[in-house]
Amino acid sequence: MTGNAPTTETPPPQWELAAPILEFHQVSFKGTGETSIRMNKFSATIRTGELVEVELERQHNPRDLVSMMLGLNPPDAGEVLYSQQDWLGIDYARHFQMRSEIGRVFAGSAWIQSLTLRDNIHLAMRHHGVTETDAEEKVEHWIQRLSGHQLAKVKWALKKRPSVVEPSVLALCQLIRAMANHPRLLILERPLRFMLESLYDNFVSAVDDLRASGTAVLFFAGGRDEYRLEFRSPVISWRIINGTMNTNGRRRP
Amino acid sequence: MFRSSVQTLHLVRLAVARATGWVWHWTGSVGELFFDRFGRLSAIASVLWASLALASHPRSWTYAVRNVFSKQVLFTAVDAIPAALRFGGAVGVLLIVQAAMWIDAAGVSTDVIAPILWRSIVREIAPMLACLVVIGRSGIAISTELATMRANGEVEVIDSLGIDPMTFLVMPRVLAVMISVFCLAIITAVTMVVTGYAVGFMMDAIHTSWNEFYGEIASNFELSDLTFFLSKTMVAGGFAGAICCLEGINARGSMTDVPRIASRAGIRALTAVFAVSAILSILFYNKILVFQFG
């Protein structure tokens, strides 16, 4: 075949992959406790707009794994990249800037107990230069969006310290804090554990809207009801097999 | 004969081995202690230096950090004023009674005693009392608060939100302690002088008018007093703040460890304040006890 001969082959489809937000390259991680989720030469990528669902068993605690993803604990081996930047070195200002773009709902302790919930929710935004008016507006928007019939309770709770607020309201406030500053990556650790079922639809639509605007979502689902949420397709599933994260997942029926 | 000499040799070898082992053990312990102390000192110095370096950057002073700083100053300095007044008043009375006793015993006048009193108040007693008040009221509270935050996972939460715990938790507290010690030392010094004079005058131990007494003090005030006062309050306060923050933020374990960490922080901060005070005095006077350097 000569170089100028006409070809009958159709050119390969030219689509562009969405930008990678969180990348794992051969990551090994043991964690600190028996309930920690491990990684064994784990490689995967979460891209803008993607939703990755990880199904947790009752005994699993994703906290230290997520902290490793955020560069707070180093992995035993391999590399974790956020927005194509690593967590290595002593450029702490860059690391903190990167973390400020990530929304996180914590499994377990999530609040600074000496501050009110309002101050807790505003804290990161104000620290990273969002004006008080803008922060108020954003928080108000997400309160209206997520709270449903719990609206009055949430507004009351904002003036209180976390220790006197009931868990279902705290769960809502955690979501508000994580979503308020339009994160590029949203990591949810058992976000619905204490949330009322009647608010699940609000949660799903909020997550889908964030995805539509480019947020990548890593969702550690912690209960049967959570596996059945109707997110917009595609939903990528990762599984935990023998306590180790695996990308060969499939949504539970 | 041969057997006994072999036994003796064996005993000698055993003794030498034991002595060598003891020397090694002792040297090892001393070395370990040295490295432990050196490591601790360098950690304190690092925290102090990092706090000052962070404080010098305007971008560190975000709304949240300013908020923490102002609350800490309110708690450590403003709320501690009544305690500083009580301490200053009590020690002022003690000092003036002692001074009056010496005036009578040695037959000297007030103009001899006043400068000595003033110097010892400004250079030694007031900074030390202010440090005691700040460590007792706030230093232990700071280490308890930070250790509790650490045990509760709140430090991890702050880190995850993209907020540097050093900028948000440590720097404003160290700075607030430094400033508080300085301000409280001024209040303590003034209270000591005024109360001392008032009580001494009422007890007829002081025979001069307030104007004369104050004039005597003012005329004896030197620039070196200010340098001494400033450096002693700031350096000792900085060390106290850094130690309390470091002990709290380095806490390991559970909530049950918090009281132990808090008391340890208090003792270490007090030790450091006394040591820093002594070292600064040696450096300023250029002599230790009666032995002059150089």
**Does B222 score more than 70 pLDDT?**
yes
For B125, the token pair is 């007693």
Give the amino acid at B101: M
Q: Searching chain B, which residue's CA lies closest to the CA of residue A124?
A: B161
Name the band, by pLDDT with cuts 50, 70 and 90, for residue B137.
Answer: very high
Strands A185-189 and A102-105: parallel
pLDDT in tens, B180-194: 999 999 999 999 988
CB B87 within 8 A of CB B127: no
Q: Does B145 touch chain A (CB under 8 A)?
A: yes
Across the range A9-27, mean pLDDT stands at 75
> How many helices (H) and strands (E) are present in chain B, helices listed first?
12, 2
* Residue A23 vs residue A18, higher pLDDT: A23
Over residues A187-207, the mean pLDDT reads 91
Give the three-class secondary structure for B108.
coil
CA gap A61, A35 in Å, rounded: 5
Decide if B142 contacts B241 (C-beta within 8 A). Answer: yes
Nearest CA in chain A to B166: A92
In chain A, pLDDT over 90 holds for what percent of residues?
65
Q: Shortest CA distance to B156 belongs to which of B143, B175, B169, B144?
A: B169
CB contact under 8 A, B164 and A96: yes
What's the alpha-carbon Rg for chain B, to the nearest Å?
26
The yes-or-no verdict on residue A228 having pLDDT over 90 is no
Mean pLDDT confidence for B245-258: 87
Pairing of strands A102-105, B287-288: unpaired
Region B133-147: mean pLDDT is 95
Superfamily designation of domain A20-107+168-246: P-loop containing nucleotide triphosphate hydrolases (3.40.50.300)
Contact assessment for residue B64 and residue A127, using Cβ atoms and an 8 Å cutoff: yes
Per-domain boundaries in chain A: 20-107+168-246
Amino acid at B167: T
CA distance B126 to B136: 15
Q: At what angle do helices B140-152 and B258-285 cross, to 10 degrees?
A: 140
Give contacts of B168 with chain A, Cβ < 8 Å: 127
How far is the C-alpha of A165 from the C-alpha of A187, rounded, in Å?
23
Asked if A113 lies within 8 A of B160 by C-beta distance, the reply is no
* pLDDT at position A253 over 90: no
What span, in angstroms and rounded, lies between the C-alpha atoms of A246 and A239? 5
Contacts of residue A136, Cβ cutoff 8 Å, sequence gap at least 6: none
**Cα gap B58→B284, rounded to integer Å:** 33
Are the beta carbons of B93 and B121 closer than 8 angstroms? no
Nearest to A122 by CA among A137, A109, A102, A108: A137
Residues of A at the B interface (Cβ-Cβ below 8 Å)? 63, 67, 70, 72, 92, 96-102, 104, 106, 108-114, 123-124, 126-129, 132
Whole-angstrom Cα distance, residue A246 to residue A78?
16
Q: What is the pLDDT of residue B115?
A: 74
Mean pLDDT of B252-274: 90
d(C-alpha B52, C-alpha B177), whole Å: 13
The whole-number average pLDDT for the span B230-234 is: 91
pLDDT in tens, A81-139: 999 999 998 889 999 999 999 999 998 889 999 999 999 999 999 999 899 999 999 99
User: What are the chain A neighbours of B156 within 8 Å (beta carbons)?
Assistant: 67, 72, 109
Q: Is the ipTM of this complex over 0.90?
A: no
Tokens 């969002």 locate to: A130
Q: Which amino acid is at A181?
A: N
Residues A24-74 have pLDDT tens digits of 999 999 988 888 999 999 999 999 999 999 988 888 899 999 999 999 999
Establish if B156 touches chain A: CB-CB under 8 angstroms. yes
Tens digits of per-residue pLDDT, B62-119?
A: 999 999 999 999 999 999 999 999 999 999 888 877 777 777 777 777 667 777 778 8
Nearest to A128 among B148, B160, B162 (CB): B162
Tokens encoding B73: 């100053």
**Residue A71 carries which DSSP code?**
T
Residue A124, CA atoms < 13 Å, CB-side half-sphere: 31
d(CA B245, CA B208): 47
**How many CA atoms within 13 Å lie on the side-chain side of B286?**
3
Which two tokens mark A241?
A: 């097999």
CB contact under 8 A, B162 and A123: no
Q: Which residue has the tokens 């500053």?
A: A181
Nearest-by-CA chain A residue for B54: A93
Segment A163-175 shows an average pLDDT of: 94
Within 13 Å and on the Cβ side, how many CA atoms surround A21?
A: 25
Q: Measured between CA atoms, how close is B149 to chain A, in angstroms?
A: 8
Q: Do B154 and A109 touch (CB under 8 A)?
A: yes
Binding-face residues of B in 161-180 toward A, CB within 8 A: 161-164, 168
Q: Which among B152, B158, B168 has CB closest to A113?
A: B152
Tell if the CB–CB gap between B168 and A127 is shorter than 8 Å.
Answer: yes
- Reported confidence tier of residue B61, pLDDT bands at 50, 70, 90: very high
| Contact call for residues A179 and A186 (beta carbons, < 8 A) | yes
The H-or-E segment that residue A200 falls in is: helix A200-212
Q: Are B151 and B262 in contact (CB under 8 A)?
A: no
Chain A, nearest residue to B148 by Cα? A113
Residues of A in contact with B148 (CB under 8 A): 113
Query: Which of A63, A72, A90, A127 is the best residue to mutate to test the B interface, defined by the most B CB atoms within 10 Å of its own CB?
Result: A127
